Amino acid sequence: MTSMSRARVARRIAAGAAYGGGGIGLAGAAAVGLVLAEVRLAKRQVGNGSAPHVPNAQGLYGLGYSVPGEPPLRLAMLGDSTAAGQGVHRGGQTPGALLASGLAAVAERPVELRNAALPGACSDDLDRQVVLALSDPARVPDVCVIMIGANDVTHRMPPTRSVRHLSAAVRRLRTAGAEVVVGTCPDLGTIEPVQQPLRWLARRASRQLAAAQTIGAVEQGGRTVSLGDLLGPEFEANPRELFGPDNYHPSAEGYATAAMALLPTVCAALGLWPADEERPDVSRREGFLPVARAAAEAASEAGTEVAAAMPSGPKGPWALLKRRRRRLLAAERVDEPVGGPHGADSAEN
């Protein structure tokens, strides 16, 4: 599918989400049904049948940057198992911990991490998660990172409904004063046991949803980063290294790759990235595009950021497409968080 075709499909899905439609399918209902069956088979092949274990990573990171009287930055993670960090054994290996440590280093301020993500969640669980994230009006997150979408595809949630829930979550968080960064639907075509031609169909469905998610999130004031094949061709080139023990969820190195791509956008949303890097770099094919076109291009290239630029243009809202340089994050170098009310032992989340 070309970027122009994907842009048209994404625009239709986003429009349906905004106006209550629900009849548009991802890559066709029959194709998604086949993808669903194949992915569930893959899960049975690679999973161990045990209850998901998610290390508790909540707590305070970057304590060495503490200044008396200055509160820490607050980071909240929302979404599914990839946001929660399923598949690794230590809290410091989860994407939330990696982002909190990286953000603390860039901001030179402690970062308090709260994780409301739930393994197995679809986008319709975001309403509950947003309530948790905003439960204390005195501690509204400075930035929320949402990673969602894979379960929507495998559970055949209508894409318009999926985008409607995501858009509502972004809108509520932005209204409360939080910046929002969405890691869009990952590429299910990278799951190793999924065979062709269903691997191609899974990739197509994932990218269609990712593009539509981008339109919905950006129009509500959020920023997106395309997760694609979980942020890099490394997953196809080195699946044994970058997938976890179940070959379905990322390993510590895989989560570090994802966090490395998300961190610059998280920092930029908080005004912490160098100003000269906020201007589009033509040499990296960055620039201003109609939001649907930007969404389609981002879905085709993992790690690409899309942010609102102009509310209207010849073809509707325009967005800034950025391909930011990634910050190196090594999972094994992340300190475990300091305990407290949301302290992180090794308990399940």
Q: In what order do the strands lie in the sheet with 179-183?
A: 59-61, 111-115, 73-79, 143-147, 179-183, 223-225, 305-310, 318-322, 287-290
| C-alpha 304: how far from chain center | 12
Residue 125 among the catalytic residues: no
Write 21-28 long-range contacts (CB < 8 A, 24+).
21/160, 22/158, 22/160, 22/161, 23/158, 23/160, 24/158, 24/159, 24/160, 25/158, 25/159, 26/153, 26/159, 26/204, 26/205, 26/208, 26/209, 27/201, 27/204, 27/205, 27/208
CA 94 to chain centre: 13
Verify whether residue 246 is a known catalytic residue.
yes
Could you say which of 3, 80, 81, 152 is catalytic? 81
CA distance 323 to 298: 9
**Active-site option among 124, 246, 281, 335:** 246
Q: Is 66 among the catalytic positions?
A: no
Q: Which of 3, 142, 162, 249 is catalytic?
A: 249
Other beta carbons within 10 Å of 325: 11
Catalytic residues: 81, 246, 249
